């Protein structure tokens, strides 16, 4: 009888733990809506990245409050890029690494993420969207609104977002647009 009670207790306890784990994040979803405002996000800012006369991508930063505080931001956010030109995942990784080097981030900090990103990111064609949802210091990537992978290490989201949002970014005007400082 005691064994039966103990087994039932463990089963019920496991059920509640699993239920709580599933409810930790209301944003851990398999697919983003086309308009993330449906999830309660507000646009902070948006920008177009261009090289010479060619527009490469449009990017938009969303948070729950509509504001972003670089060093102190703990609220969920979505950073979305809509590509206007195709790019292979190898070129995308190379450009990402170039920007980390520009920011003087040691390879020891970003190196462990390169293979993970290579396994997550697809080749991009014109019109594709790549988005990253950051919640509870976890980064979830979406390709054309469908979840394609996540990175659970809390330091990754800031490391990745610094490419665009750090005061030391190589694209200061783009940063100012994303932060809503330039309309």
- Please tell me the distance from the alpha carbon of residue 98 to that of residue 34, in angstroms, as a whole number: 30
> For residue 182, what are its two tokens?
């330039």
- Residue-wise pLDDT tens digits, 80-91: 999 999 999 999
Domain membership of residue 108 (yes or no) is yes
**Looking at the domain assignment, is residue 11 inside a domain?**
no
Say if 7 falls within a structural domain: no
CATH of the domain at 71: 3.50.70.10
Domains held by the chain: number: 1
Does 6 have pLDDT greater than 50? no
**Which pLDDT does position 44 carry in this prediction?**
96
Which residue would you say has higher pLDDT here, 18 or 45?
A: 45
Is the Cα dihedral 131, 72, 176, 159 positive or negative? negative
Domain that includes residue 87, residue range: 32-178
The verdict on residue 24 lying in a domain is no
């Amino acid at each position: 009888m005691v064994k039966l009670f103990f087994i039932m207790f463990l089963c019920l306890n496991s059920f509640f733990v699993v239920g709580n784990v599933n409810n930790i994040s209301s944003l851990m979803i398999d697919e983003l809506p086309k308009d993330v405002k449906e999830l309660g996000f507000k646009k902070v800012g948006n920008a177009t990245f261009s090289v010479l006369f060619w527009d490469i991508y449009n990017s938009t930063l969303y948070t729950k409050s509509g504001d972003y505080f670089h060093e102190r931001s703990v609220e969920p956010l979505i950073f979305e890029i809509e590509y206007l030109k195709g790019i292979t995942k190898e070129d995308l990784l190379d450009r990402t690494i170039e920007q980390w080097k520009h920011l003087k981030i040691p390879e020891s900090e970003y190196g462990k993420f390169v293979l993970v990103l290579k396994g997550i990111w697809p080749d991009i064609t014109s019109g594709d969207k790549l988005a990253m949802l950051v919640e509870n210091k976890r980064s979830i990537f979406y390709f054309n609104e469908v979840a394609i992978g996540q990175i659970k290490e809390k330091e990754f989201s800031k490391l990745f977002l610094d490419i665009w949002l750090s005061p030391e970014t190589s694209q200061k005007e783009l940063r100012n647009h994303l932060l809503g400082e330039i309309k």
